[in-house]
């Protein structure tokens, strides 16, 4: 090859290296948005913004080999400029590096401490550019603050973090954050919470919705083994197992006029733990800041593995539920909130309410005014005995929490019941004399006077009901006020034969009935045995005949929600139908939820009757839950 040709080719190579291979093509669908919006929290990869900044500063290659030195340089640059964009880049780079560490080691803690500080600096300390509400970076900074703080909580928990401390030290790549730990502002606060868990660490299944709200701070769950000593046997305080809260650390602005441009100062901060059920907004640097909250995870942790005995097992043998029967408080008692008591139905347990309660926690107007309790009882027992136990439990709780009977919120208690639970709970609002139960069974009620005094007292305690002064508001869902024909089926009779009562509760009552057997006039099954919960649901049972047409006191009110899954000519194209008068009720005698006929669940005098398309488990229907929310809001606003 001649020299001129070689020289010419060499020039072509040199000039070609100076040219750019510019191309252009079209994005597919939203591919462009996904590319420019991608960042570490989404994919684990650095954002386009962070990479571009490093490239522009000729720091990209150095970041690959010496990331800590690059971040230290960027920290110093931020101290000089206070550029908002730079604060977020430091936060992302630091968080990105933390994800490569394992087991929350010291280096991981330093990276997360750096990400935590600079995401906070972006939000509150930097020179603002543009309108934050229109910048996606603003929400991104919130997420880096929350997630890095969550990782800090996990790192410190491994180092035995508890609430019984005064100060925390959070290291950064360069510098430290010294945190003053303030006592949590919680309604329930024992001497110490043993563990602090971030809700971000838990994946919840089994709930139809996830109730949370975006904001700043880490949703946490506090757990304690310091159980309250209870005088009420059937009061079960389980809230100590999972107290919902939000951890927020407010960093104090550095007030020094001059700082060394070659060093990063230490910073100071205050840690606050806020009650998620009460406080949802705080003020930071003269800004109103919503707290990030999570209600579903603490609730799931509270209820997880709580059901040691299935509803069917408890129905067959009430004895197995003896230790667990009672009223479960899902949060510490608060005198400024109205109690809502949930009562389940036949073969069921408190788990039947988890979707509804989870949803209610997600409604600010509801959780701020109400506190939720669940009553658990063995449904095989006679309904009037279950009502007696329910009544005694409520009276014991009144004695403990409202002994002077002056708390107006306690008096506004709302009872939400499903199926048999409605029959159990409504007896707390009715007036029934014990003779009303017995006169249909015993030929001559005067012969009861021959019984021993203690036996007469036993009958009166279990069978005599007077309205309680604080049970005036009811929501009945698929309640068989007129009984259920399924209780008459042959298989119901077989199932009924396997039900066993607790001896300590029924020995005396059974003895009384045996003593009066020769005076009874009904069939063998009615005369020689105590009616079970299943038998009590028969339309011709003593319980239904006594209670069906009982009127509620004038100062009591109730709402009804019905499911209709059979014979739907009027609902075939509608999900919701309100009904108010008896004329409409008479036209719907063929409706049923497959367990309870509408004719049975209808009760005259209701403030509202809502009919929904669905089966007997209509209390899990989202529209039924929305109706409960509507009623609670209405009650809370007009009390």
Angle between helices 84-98 and 48-56 (to 10 degrees): 110
DSSP 26: P
Contact 393/359 with Cβ under 8 angstroms? no
For residue 478, give the nearest of 553, 413, 423, 546 by alpha carbon.
Answer: 423
For residue 482, give the nearest of 362, 399, 603 by alpha carbon.
Answer: 603
Give domain limits for the chain. Answer: 35-149, 167-257+264-297, 309-556+580-611+622-638
CA distances from 524 to 489, 515, 520, 542 (A): 18, 15, 9, 14
For residue 86, give the nearest of 140, 50, 38 by alpha carbon.
Answer: 50
Q: What is the pLDDT of residue 165?
A: 67
Contact 410/339 with Cβ under 8 angstroms? yes
Contact 292/203 with Cβ under 8 angstroms? no
115 CB burial (10 A radius; 0-12, 13-18, 19+):
buried
The pair of structure tokens assigned to 289 is 């800041």
Distance CA 306, CA 316 (A): 19
The pair of structure tokens assigned to 569 is 């000519």
Q: Are strands 557-564 and 609-613 parallel, antiparallel or unpaired?
A: parallel
Contact 352/624 with Cβ under 8 angstroms? no
Could you list the beta-strand ranges (E) of 149-292.
Answer: 167-171, 176-181, 195-198, 212-213, 218-223, 235-237, 243-251, 267-275, 281-284, 287-290
Residue 569: alpha-carbon gap to chain centroid: 37
The pair of structure tokens assigned to 187 is 């309604």
The pair of structure tokens assigned to 283 is 């003020």
Contact 477/417 with Cβ under 8 angstroms? yes
Give 10-residue mean pLDDT values along the chain (639 residues): 51 53 87 87 93 95 96 93 94 96 89 97 80 80 97 82 72 92 68 79 94 96 68 74 91 67 83 91 93 96 77 68 83 94 93 96 95 92 90 95 96 98 98 82 66 80 92 97 88 71 63 58 46 88 91 96 75 61 63 91 93 93 96 89
Q: What is the pLDDT of residue 324?
A: 79
Tell me the sheet residues that pair with 247: 218, 273
Beta-carbon count within 10 A of 270 CB: 13
What pTM value is reported for the model? Answer: 0.89
For residue 420, give the nearest of 600, 235, 156 by alpha carbon.
Answer: 600
Q: What is the pLDDT of residue 239?
A: 74
Distance CA 541, CA 483 (A): 8
């Amino acid at each position: 090859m001649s020299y001129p040709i070689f020289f010419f080719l060499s020039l072509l190579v040199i000039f070609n290296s100076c040219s750019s291979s510019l191309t252009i093509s079209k994005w597919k669908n939203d591919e462009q948005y996904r590319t420019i919006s991608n960042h570490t929290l989404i994919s684990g990869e650095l954002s386009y913004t962070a990479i571009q900044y490093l490239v522009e500063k000729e720091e990209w290659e150095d970041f690959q080999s010496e990331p800590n030195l690059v971040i230290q340089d960027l920290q110093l640059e931020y101290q000089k400029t206070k550029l908002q964009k730079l604060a977020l880049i430091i936060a992302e780079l630091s968080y990105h590096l933390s994800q490569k560490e394992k087991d929350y080691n010291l280096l991981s803690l330093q990276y997360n401490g750096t990400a935590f500080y600079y995401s906070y600096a972006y939000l509150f300390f930097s020179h603002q550019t543009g309108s934050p509400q229109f910048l996606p970076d603003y929400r991104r900074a919130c997420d880096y603050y929350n997630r890095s703080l969550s990782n800090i909580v996990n790192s410190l928990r491994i180092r035995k973090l508890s609430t019984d401390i005064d100060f925390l030290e959070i290291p950064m790549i360069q510098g430290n954050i010294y945190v003053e730990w303030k006592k949590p502002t919680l309604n329930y606060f024992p001497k110490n919470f043993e563990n602090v868990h971030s809700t971000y660490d838990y994946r919840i299944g089994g709930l139809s919705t996830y109730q949370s709200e975006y904001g700043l701070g880490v949703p946490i769950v506090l757990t304690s083994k310091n159980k309250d000593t209870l005088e009420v046997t059937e009061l079960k305080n389980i809230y100590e197992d999972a107290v919902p809260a939000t951890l927020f650390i407010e960093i104090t602005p550095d007030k020094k006029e001059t700082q060394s441009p070659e060093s990063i100062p230490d910073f100071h901060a205050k840690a606050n733990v806020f009650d998620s059920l009460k406080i949802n907004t705080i003020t930071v640097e003269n800004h109103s800041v919503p707290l990030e909250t999570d209600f579903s995870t603490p609730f799931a942790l509270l209820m997880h593995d709580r059901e040691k005995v299935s509803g069917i097992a408890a129905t067959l043998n009430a004895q197995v539920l003896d230790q667990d029967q009672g009223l479960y408080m899902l949060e510490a008692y608060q005198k400024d909130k109205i109690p809502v008591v949930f009562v389940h139905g036949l073969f069921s347990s408190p788990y039947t309410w988890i979707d509804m309660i989870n949803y209610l926690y997600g409604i600010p107007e509801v959780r701020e005014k109400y506190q939720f309790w669940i009553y658990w009882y063995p449904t095989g027992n006679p309904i009037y005995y279950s009502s007696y136990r329910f009544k005694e439990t409520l009276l014991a709780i009144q004695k403990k929490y409202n002994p002077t009977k002056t708390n107006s919120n306690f008096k506004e208690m709302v009872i939400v019941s499903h199926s048999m639970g409605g029959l159990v709970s409504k007896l707390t609002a009715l007036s029934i004399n014990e003779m009303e139960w017995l006169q249909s069974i015993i030929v001559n009620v005067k012969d009861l006077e021959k019984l021993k005094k203690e036996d007469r007292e036993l009958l009166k305690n279990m069978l005599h009901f007077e309205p309680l002064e604080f049970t005036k508001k009811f929501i009945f869902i698929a309640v068989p006020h007129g009984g259920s024909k399924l209780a008459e089926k042959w298989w119901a009779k077989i199932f009924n034969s396997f039900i066993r009562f607790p001896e300590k509760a029924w020995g005396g009552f059974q003895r009384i009935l045996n003593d009066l057997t020769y005076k009874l006039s009904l069939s063998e099954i009615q005369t020689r045995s105590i009616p079970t919960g299943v038998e009590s649901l028969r339309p011709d049972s003593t319980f239904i005949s006594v209670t069906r047409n009982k009127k509620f006191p004038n100062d009591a009110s109730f709402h009804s929600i019905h499911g209709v899954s059979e014979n739907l000519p009027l609902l075939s194209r509608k999900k919701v139908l309100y009904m108010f008068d008896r004329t409409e009720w008479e036209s719907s005698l063929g409706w049923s939820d497959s367990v309870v006929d509408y004719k049975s669940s209808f009760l005259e005098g209701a403030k509202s009757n809502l009919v929904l398309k669905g089966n007997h488990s209509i209390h899990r229907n989202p529209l039924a839950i929305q109706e409960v929310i509507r009623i609670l809001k209405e009650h809370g606003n007009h009390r």
